[in-house]
């Protein structure tokens, strides 16, 4: 009990001080065996299939008529970063569905010759809510990245990939997927985002 109050005081003090560089809590993501079993069941559901079909169809619409995409989705397209944001708060999908889709995207990226650099959770005390951001950060595997290319440059595949799930007061808010490439003489040009989408949805 003597140690409890100093711990609580410290915790609340951190809550007041939390910032983008100083989260209140920071820990690695570890799924329990029950969660992993539930995830395997989820992968066989129509929910997963519908999410994938919806995302792929919306990307096709975005390429032809970018203003006509679903309001629950945005696409990112800059010279160095490509990606999308699913605004789960505007959909009927549950936090379970969003979390499993977050992990599913990581699994699909790993199948493309990537390794997980870090999977972690950061919690912040915002003025009007408590924000939790779960993140998977993936990079091309070193053996793939160091493959000898005809150009003598590193193959960066689709670039480094960040997948983030933002939760506000225990309610899923959005999921952000971003591929960031290097524009550097040491690297070959990254492969197209359209091809990455095709691989993810296949």
Residue 26 or 20, more confident? 26
Has residue 1 got a pLDDT over 50? no
Residue, of 90 and 184, whose pLDDT is higher: 90
Residue 15 is predicted with a pLDDT of: 45
Render pLDDT for 121-144 as a digit per residue (tens, 0 to 9). 999 988 898 999 999 999 998 765
pLDDT of residue 146: 55
Query: What is this structure's pTM?
Result: 0.86
The whole-number pLDDT of residue 149 equals 56
Nearest to 172, CA basis, from 72, 98, 122, 108: 98
pLDDT of residue 21: 60
pLDDT at position 63, please?
Answer: 95
* Tens-digit pLDDT profile for residues 93-111: 999 999 999 999 999 999 9
Question: Helix 46-64 vs helix 95-110: angle between axes, to the nearest 10 degrees?
Answer: 70
Report the range of poorest mean pLDDT among 4-18, 31-45, 50-64, 116-130: 4-18
Q: How many CA atoms lie within 13 A of 170 on its CB side?
A: 0
Q: What is the mean pLDDT of the chain?
A: 88
**Which distant-in-sequence residues (6+ apart) come within 8 Å of 175 by Cβ?**
85, 86, 88, 98, 101, 102, 163, 164, 165, 166
Each residue of 50-59: pLDDT tens digit? 999 999 999 9
N-to-C CA span, the chain? 55
Q: What is the DSSP annotation of 13-74?
A: HHHHH-BTTB-SEEEE----HHHHHHHHHHTTSHHHHHHHHHHHHHHHHHHH-GGGS-TTEE
């Amino acid at each position: 009990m003597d140690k409890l109050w100093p711990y609580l005081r410290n915790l609340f003090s951190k809550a007041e001080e939390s910032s983008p560089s100083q989260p209140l809590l920071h820990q690695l993501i570890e799924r329990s065996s029950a969660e992993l079993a539930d995830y395997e069941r989820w992968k066989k559901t129509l929910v997963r299939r519908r999410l994938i079909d919806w995302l792929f169809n919306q990307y096709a619409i975005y390429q032809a008529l970018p203003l006509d995409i679903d309001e629950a989705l945005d696409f990112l397209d800059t010279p160095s970063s490509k990606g999308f944001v699913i605004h789960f708060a505007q959909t009927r999908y549950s936090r379970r569905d969003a979390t499993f889709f977050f992990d599913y995207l990581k699994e699909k990226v790993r199948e493309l010759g990537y390794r997980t650099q870090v999977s972690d959770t950061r919690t912040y005390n915002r003025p009007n809510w408590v924000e939790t951001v779960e993140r998977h950060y993936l990079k091309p595997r070193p053996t793939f990245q160091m493959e000898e290319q005809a150009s003598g440059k590193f193959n960066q595949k689709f670039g480094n990939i960040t997948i983030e799930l933002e939760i506000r007061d225990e309610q899923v808010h959005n999921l952000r997927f971003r591929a960031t490439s290097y524009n550097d003489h040491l690297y070959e040009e990254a492969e197209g985002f359209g091809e990455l989408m095709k691989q993810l949805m296949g």
